[in-house]
Amino acid sequence: MMKWAVVLCALVAFAECLHKVPLIKGKTVREKMMEKGLWNEYRKQFPYNPMSKFVQGGNEAMTNDADLSYYGVISIGTPPQSFSVIFDTGSSNLWVPSVYCSSQACQNHKEFNPQQSSTYKYAGQSLSIQYGTGSMTGILAYDTVEVGGITVSQQIFGLSETEAPFMANMVADGILGLAFPSISSSGATPVFDNMMSQNLVPEDVFSVYLSGGGQSGSVVVFGGIDSNYYSGQLTYIPLTSETYWQIRMDSVTINGNVVACSGGCQAIIDTGTSQIVGPNSDIANMNSWVGASTNQYGEAVVNCQSLGNMPEVTFTLNGNAFTIPASAYVSQSSYGCSTGFGNGGSSQLWILGDVFIRQFYAVFDRQNRQVGLAPVA
C-alpha cells in the first residue's frame, strides 16, 4: 500500500503547502490482454472510440483509452478505504467500484463498502457515464475523500453498480475527474472544486508531470507548481471553453508543412486519453508523413528500425510552437512499433493526450482560466 506524503515547497517569499499525489505507471491493458491472447478479438468486438467522451448529452460521456495506465491512490470514508484512480482532466466525476456492483470488473478491484464508513451519506441520485467501450452505472453519495494529504469533507462521488468489461483488465479501480463542473454527470461537484471552496489549496491550480518509458516519478500537484519538473519558462494558453481544458490549436506541422488542423481547430489537454487524437483525415495524413501504414486492426505501425529517421511533429497552440520527437509519438513493444496518433472520427475536436503531455509539464489554472506548458526537465 502506497503511503501519502505532504511535500513542503518554498513559493516566492513564503512557504506554501503543495500536495503531491505520486502516480504509478504499470503494464497497459493492451499488454496484459496481449499476453493472454485476448487483445485482437477484444478490439474487433469493442472498437475504440476516443471521441465518445466529448459527446454532450443528458449524462457526461467519457472514455478511458485501453492503453492508459497512470494512476494514484486516494482514500474514501472513515476509517479510510483506499482506491487507485486515474486522474482525468477530460472528465469531472469521481467514482469507484462498490460492494453493490455485480460486474466482473468490480470483483477484480477494491470495492467501497458504505457500511464500514461512519461519515457516509447516500445522495439519493443515480449516475450513468458512457465509455467508448461500454459504460458504468451506479449511485451517488457523500463522504470524506483524501487526496495527496488533502482531506475533502462531504465530497460527492459515484459508487459503481455495473462496469464495462474492459475495466476488469485495468489496474486502476476508478476515475477522479479534474475538468469543470459544467460537464459533471448528474451535476456532481468535482473534487478540485471542493478543494477550492473549502480553502484547502493555496492556489486554484494543479499541475501534472507524466514520466515516460515506464519510469516512476509521475505526479499531480494540487495547489501549486513545482519548477523541479520543467525547464525554461511556462507558456500560458487561454481557455476557449470552461468545460474541458480546451484551447485553440493553430496547426500541426511536419518539416515546415501544415499536415493537420489547417486554418485552426480546438484541442483538449487530456490526461485521461493516452494518444493524440484528431479527425480521421488529418490523422491519416500525419501517419502518412511519418511513414506509418495501417495494419489489419486499424493501428498505424512503423518499422522500429526507422525511428531515428522519423520527423518531429509541431503543434502550434495559440501562436506558440510545441514540438515532439519521434521517440515521443512512437511506442515500442515486443509486438512492434506504432504511432500515438489515433482516429477521432469526423469530429474536429482534437485530444492532446499522454503522448503529448509526457513532453510538457502541464499547469491547469482555474483562477486565470488558462493552461501552462513547459518542456519537462
Asked whether residue 323 is assigned to any structural domain, the reply reads yes
From CA 313, how far away is CA 310, in angstroms rounded? Answer: 10
- Tell which of 178, 209, 240 closes a domain: 209
Whether 288 and 205 share a structural domain: no
Whether 72 and 182 share a structural domain: yes
Asked whether residue 220 is assigned to any structural domain, the reply reads no
Give the 3-state secondary structure of 112-163.
ECHHHCCCCEEEEEEEEEEECCEEEEEEEEEEEEEECCEEEEEEEEEEEEEC
The label of the residue with cell 476557449 reads 240
User: Whats the size of the chain, residue-wise?
Assistant: 377
Asked whether residue 224 is assigned to any structural domain, the reply reads no
Whether 183 and 253 share a structural domain: no
Radius of gyration of the chain (CA): 20
First to last CA, the chain: 29
The residue from 143, 173, 270, 282 that is catalytic is: 270
Asked whether residue 2 is assigned to any structural domain, the reply reads no
Burial of 367 (0-12, 13-18, 19+ CB in 10 A): exposed
The CATH number that applies at residue 195 is 2.40.70.10
How far is residue 234 CA from its own chain's centroid? 21
Whether 52 and 121 share a structural domain: yes
Residue 193 catalytic? no
The residue from 65, 67, 88, 354 that is catalytic is: 88
Whether 234 and 204 share a structural domain: no
Please name which of 375, 21, 360, 359 lies closest in space to residue 221, comparing C-alpha atoms.
Answer: 21
Distances (CA, A) of 114 to 74, 85, 108: 16, 18, 19
How far is residue 363 CA from its own chain's centroid? 14
Asked whether residue 160 is assigned to any structural domain, the reply reads yes
Asked whether residue 171 is assigned to any structural domain, the reply reads yes
Residue 270 catalytic? yes
- Tell which of 160, 176, 209 closes a domain: 209
Asked whether the beta carbons of 112 and 78 are under 8 A apart, the reply is no
Whether 121 and 170 share a structural domain: yes
pLDDT of residue 165: 86
* CA 356, 361, 365, 369 torsion-angle sign: negative
Whether 47 and 192 share a structural domain: yes
- Tell which of 159, 178, 209 closes a domain: 209
pLDDT of residue 33: 60
Asked whether the beta carbons of 228 and 18 are under 8 A apart, the reply is no
Whether 180 and 249 share a structural domain: no
Whether 182 and 238 share a structural domain: no
Whether 268 and 355 share a structural domain: yes
The domain in which residue 298 lies consists of 230-375
The number of folded domains in the chain is 2
Asked whether residue 146 is assigned to any structural domain, the reply reads yes
pLDDT of residue 8: 28
Whether 20 and 106 share a structural domain: yes
Residues near 124 by beta carbon (within 8 Å), at least 6 away in sequence? 140
Asked whether residue 214 is assigned to any structural domain, the reply reads no
pLDDT in tens, the chain (377 residues): 333 333 323 333 223 457 888 887 655 555 666 566 665 555 555 555 655 555 443 333 233 334 456 889 999 999 999 999 999 999 999 999 999 999 999 999 999 999 999 999 999 999 998 765 568 999 999 999 999 899 999 999 999 999 988 788 888 999 999 999 999 999 999 999 999 999 999 999 999 999 887 788 899 999 999 999 999 999 999 999 999 999 999 999 999 999 999 999 999 999 988 899 999 999 999 999 999 998 887 789 999 999 999 999 999 999 999 999 999 999 988 889 999 999 888 888 999 999 999 999 999 999 999 999 999 99
Whether 205 and 235 share a structural domain: no
